[in-house]
Amino acid sequence: AQSVTQLDSQVPVFEEAPVELRCNYSSSVSVYLFWYVQYPNQGLQLLLKYLSGSTLVESINGFEAEFNKSQTSFHLRKPSVHISDTAEYFCAVRALRGSARQLTFGSGTQLTVLP
Amino acid sequence: NAGVTQTPKFQVLKTGQSMTLQCAQDMNHNSMYWYRQDPGMGLRLIYYSASEGTTDKGEVPNGYNVSRLNKREFSLRLESAAPSQTSVYFCASSDTAMNTEAFFGQGTRLTVV
């Protein structure tokens, strides 16, 4: 079984400041890693994913995440946030082996960008 | 592009009532899922269907049943609703390959009074 820990439930940050949302996972097998974003009253949308290869992955709207196998982390970063980035962010893992194909989610981090 | 469609969007039930949440996807995905979202707990898997004709329990299956009606549709039934089932319910689908992401519906906000 795998688990995901998002260390911060709420992160307030001023517009144009950098932000890091932390995610640590636990799994007995190798995993794929995902970040999803949820805007108010909407479903979840994929932000970015790590499957293999380069440990740094980027999204089209300026977010990036780095897979660190030794620290079992997949932190999400953005060098300069906008008001429109206000949303809840979920880290998720999926094991490469085993009977389960489902995603296991963290508890979420509410990012609030202040003017 | 419809993607994953859930109905209804909102529902209020009295304790003991039953209802079925409907979900349909038009992406020809094999796998479908039902999650519930509660504050501070993220999304927890209720049931999933890896392929048409199969269903399996997730993390929190008690009080729920599911039916994979065909490849497109996956319904969630509450036989006797309880206040603890007040939540936002999300249906999702994905391709069978493990390296693909899940696509989510807009959610159903259910209140049991």
Residue A100 has pLDDT above 70, yes or no: no
Find the residue in A nearest to B57 (Cα): A100
Judge whether A32 is closer than 8 Å to chain B, CB to CB. yes
Residues of B contacting chain A (CB within 8 angstroms): 4, 31, 33, 35, 40-45, 48, 50, 56, 58, 90, 92, 94, 96, 98-99, 101-102, 104-107
Lowest mean pLDDT among A63-67, A84-88, B11-15, B47-51: B47-51
Lowest mean pLDDT among A30-39, A77-86, B3-12, B93-102: B93-102
Residue A46 CB-density burial (10 A; 0-12 exposed, 13-18 middle, 19+ buried): middle
Asked if A5 contacts A25 with a C-beta cutoff of 8 angstroms, the reply is yes
- Residues from chain B that touch A94, judged by Cβ atoms under 8 A, are 98
Question: For B35-94, how does the pLDDT look when each residue is reduced to its tens digit (9 = 90+)?
Answer: 999 988 889 999 999 888 899 999 899 999 999 989 999 999 999 999 999 999 999 998
Measure in Å the smallest separation between the Cα of B113 and chain A Cα atoms.
21
Q: Is the dihedral of CA B25, B44, A108, B15 positive or negative?
A: positive
Query: Is A101 in Cβ contact with B48 (below 8 Å)?
Result: yes
- The answer, yes or no, to whether residue A99 has pLDDT greater than 70, is no
Q: Is there a cis peptide before residue A79, judged by omega within 30 degrees of 0?
A: no
Partner residue opposite B107 with nearest CB, options A36, A43, A46: A43
DSSP state of B73: B
Asked if A96 and B98 come within 8 Å (Cβ–Cβ), the reply is yes
- Distance from the Cα of B59 to chain A's closest Cα (Å) equals 10
Chain B contact set for A34 (CB, 8 A): 101
Mean pLDDT for the stretch of residues A6-13: 95
One-letter amino acid identity for A85? D
- Dihedral angle at the C-alpha atoms of B38, B45, A109, A68, nearest 10 degrees? 160
**Contacts with A70 (C-beta within 8 Å, 6 or more apart), sequence order:** none
Q: Is the CB of B90 less than 8 angstroms away from the CB of A46?
A: no
Coil, strand or helix at A53? coil
Rounded CA-CA distance A63/A79 in Å is 8
Q: Which residue of A has its CA nearest to B6?
A: A43
User: What type of residue is B69?
Assistant: L
Half-sphere exposure of A95 (CA within 13 A, CB side): 14
* CB-CB under 8 Å, B58 with A107: no
Cβ within 8 Å of residue B62, ≥6 positions away: none
Choose the mutation target among A2, A3, A39, A44 for the interface with B, i.e. most B CBs under 10 Å.
Answer: A44
CA–CA distance, B24 with B8 (Å, rounded to integer): 12
Output the pLDDT for position B98. Answer: 60
Q: How far apart are CA A32 and CA B32, in angstroms?
A: 18
pLDDT at A23 over 60: yes
- Distant-in-sequence, close-in-space partners of A67: CB < 8 Å, separation ≥ 6: A33, A50, A55, A56, A57, A73, A74
Q: d(Cα A37, Cα A42) in Å, to the nearest integer? A: 10
Interface size A-B, in CB pairs within 8 Å, comes to 58
What's the pLDDT score for residue B10?
95
